[in-house]
Amino acid sequence: MTDEGVNWEAIFFRDGANGTEPDGLGLSPPDVDLTRVWTGVAAEVWRRRPGPAERLAARALRSPGLARALVTTPSLLLGWVIATLLVLAAGAAATLGTGTPYVALLAPAVAGAGIAYAYGPGIDPAWELSQSTAVSDRMVLLVRALAVFGLNAAVGLAASGVSGLSGVSGSAATVTFGWLVPMTAVCALALAAATVSRSANVGVAAGMSGWVITVLAGQADGGRLTAAITDSSLFLPYLAFAACCGAVAWFATRIPRGTS
């Protein structure tokens, strides 16, 4: 009963959620449950085909639910990604024109905003509903934050490479990769602020203001705008700060034990 690869018998006579097999003698028309038939047809017609990114994520994460949550991240949607590309492209152009590493200065702030808008109440419309599902919302947050961080790091590195970094003060390697460390700290700060306050806007404000203050403090102290990304003595404090913020975010997203 197959026709052009479609097993209509399977669609029409497959049983429902209880998983029982239909009686082979019961395939005559009077025994056909039209509701079940229609549900089978509708399931085939309405079935959504996951895109390549979602299929890859489902395999990597071993969870179709987590993969679906990942591809619906607000700050990974096309509009946001295009905006990120435009900002960093403008930074690359400005770097080429002035010699100041604007890409390195912009990337942490852009990534911090993306992380704050990855997941949470007010950002995810069905956040409360998501909290009641088997896939842990903490895991969703972690996967989304890592994906946003990875994308921003990759775009930032590409923009750094394009800008060529000619004439930039400091070693090329430090300027090209050095901002990844402060970016980690800014992202962690934005994540912690967003999860504690339950507001993405607060997360963005905390991340951006923290980074602006750090850059301006570096300039005031050493007279260089790039001190915040080229001073290697700051890397350890950045990482320690990122670890503390990560711990705060982890604590803020816990569900307290001991309900009994």
The residue written with tokens 């497959």 in the block is: 14
Q: Build a one-symbol-per-residue string for 218-237: x at contacts with other proteins by CB under 8 A, - elsewhere.
A: --------------------
- Name which of 166 and 259 has its Cβ closer to other proteins: 259
Other CB atoms within a 10 A radius of the CB of residue 23 amount to 10
- Selected from 8, 32, 72, 93, the binder of other proteins by CB under 8 A is 72
Distance CA 88, CA 72 (A): 23
C-beta of 140: minimal distance to other proteins in Å?
Answer: 8
Which window, 31-39, 83-91, 109-117, 217-225, contacts other proteins (CB under 8 A)?
31-39
Amino acid occupying residue 175:
V
86: which residues sit within 8 A by CB, 6+ positions away?
A: none
Question: What count of residues does the chain have?
Answer: 260
Distance CA 116, CA 211 (A): 14
- Selected from 5, 24, 30, 258, the binder of other proteins by CB under 8 A is 258
259 binds other proteins (CB under 8 A): yes
128 binds other proteins (CB under 8 A): yes
Distance CA 69, CA 48 (A): 15
C-beta of 249: minimal distance to other proteins in Å?
Answer: 18
**CB neighbour class for 125 (10 Å; exposed up to 12, middle 13-18, buried from 19):** exposed
198 binds other proteins (CB under 8 A): no
Give me the residues that bind other proteins (CB under 8 A), please: 14, 16-17, 35, 38-40, 42-44, 46-48, 63-65, 68-69, 72, 124-136, 255-260
